[in-house]
Amino acid sequence: MSAEALSSTDYIKHHLQNLTFGHKADGTWGLAHTAAEAKEMGFWAINVDTMGWSIFLGLVFLFFFSKAARSATTGVPGGLQNFVEWIVEFIDNSVRGSFSGRNPLVAPLALTIFIWIFLMNAMDLLPIDWLPQAAAAITGNPHLFFKVVPSTDPNATFGMSIAVFFLVLYYSVKMKGLGGFVGELTLQPFGKFGLPANLFLEGVNLIAKPVSLALRLFGNMYAGEMIFILIALMFSGGGVLMLAGGALQWAWAVFHILVITLQAFIFMTLTIVYLDMAHQEHH
C-alpha cells in the first residue's frame, strides 16, 4: 500500500489497522474489510497479523537459541554461540541484581521476555510498506490491512503483562499463603484500623503493575511507528521531501534501535522486580 494510492489521512489509518478475523454482523466468520467492521466483531476477534508475527518471532527465537545450545562447544565458540552466551550472561546478571529469592523460572522467563519483545519491536525497523505491499501482492487485495509490529497492538502488550500479573499473584499466594497475601492488601500501610484505605491503595498498586507494563511498551512503540508512517508520507511529496524523508528515516531508525532495546529491557526488569516483590514477606 503506497502513500500515492491513498490520501495522507487514509494512508495513516490504513497502517494503524490490524488484519482482524471474527464474527461479522451478518452472522458469518471472516476477515474485516473496514475498521468499523473490525470494531463490530467485539472482544473475541483475533488480530491475525499480531498473532502470526508474534508466534513466528517466538519460533525464530527458539530456533536460534536451541541451535546454539545443540552446537555448543567447550573450545573456541562460533559467532552464534558467542552471541547467545553474551545474552544469557547479561540476563543472568540482571536477574541476580534484581531478584533476591530462589526460583528457577525467573531467569528463563526474563530471557524469553527480553528477546521476544526485542524481536517484535525490531520489526519497526523494516521499511513500513515492504511487508504490507508483499502481503497485498500475495493475496491480490491491494487494501489488505497488515501490521507487522506486534508490540504496537495493545492486545499483545496486555496479553504479556496479564501473564506476568498472574505469575505475580500465583507466587504471592504460594510464598506468603492466602492469608499473608490478603493481609498485605488489607493491613498495609495503615494497619487494621485503616482497612478500606489499605485495600484501595494496595489494590490500585497491584492493578497498576500489568497496566503500566502494557501501556509503557505499547505507547512507546506506537509513537515510534507513527513517526515512521509520517516520514513515509514525505516520499510522495517530490524530490526535496524524498531526500529529507530518507535522511529523517535513517536518523530515526538509528535512534529507534535504542528505543526498542530499552523497552524490552524495561519490561524484563519490571517483571523481575514484580516477581521479587511477590517472593518477599512483609511482617
Q: For residue range 101-155, what is the model confidence (pLDDT) as tens digits?
A: 899 999 999 999 999 999 999 999 999 999 999 999 999 998 899 999 999 999 9
| Residue 18 and residue 47 in contact, taking contact as beta carbons nearer than 8 Å | yes
Handedness of CA 183, 189, 191, 194 (dihedral sign): negative
Q: Which range is least confidently modeled, 14-23, 75-84, 223-232? A: 75-84
In the structure grid, which three cell numbers stand for residue 24, read together? 461479522
CA distance 58 to 65: 11
Class of residue 52 by CB neighbours under 10 A (exposed 0-12, middle 13-18, buried 19+): middle
**Catalytic member of 47, 151, 172, 220:** 220
* Stated pTM of the model: 0.92
| Residue 120 and residue 112 in contact, taking contact as beta carbons nearer than 8 Å | no
pLDDT at 18: 96
How far is C-alpha 117 from the chain's CA centre? Answer: 5
pLDDT at 272: 97
CA distance 206 to 196: 15
| Residue 202 and residue 181 in contact, taking contact as beta carbons nearer than 8 Å | no
In the structure grid, which three cell numbers stand for residue 225, read together? 511507528
| Residue 263 and residue 121 in contact, taking contact as beta carbons nearer than 8 Å | yes
State yes or no: pLDDT of 194 exceeds 90.
no
Q: Strand 29-31 relative to strand 46-47: parallel, antiparallel, unpaired?
A: unpaired
Length of the chain (residues) = 283
pLDDT at 3: 45
Q: What is the C-alpha end-to-end distance of the chain, expressed in Å? A: 60
pLDDT at 2: 45
Amino acid identity for residue 26 in this structure = D
pLDDT at 187: 84
Helix axes 239-279, 154-187, angle to 10 degrees: 30
pLDDT band at 66 (very low <50, low <70, confident <90, very high): very high
Note if 220 is an active site residue.
Answer: yes
**Catalytic member of 8, 66, 100, 212:** 212
CA distance 232 to 8: 10
CA distance 242 to 233: 9
| Residue 151 and residue 157 in contact, taking contact as beta carbons nearer than 8 Å | yes
CA distance 151 to 156: 6
Note if 212 is an active site residue.
Answer: yes
State yes or no: pLDDT of 280 exceeds 90.
no
**Catalytic member of 2, 103, 155, 216:** 216
Class of residue 1 by CB neighbours under 10 A (exposed 0-12, middle 13-18, buried 19+): buried
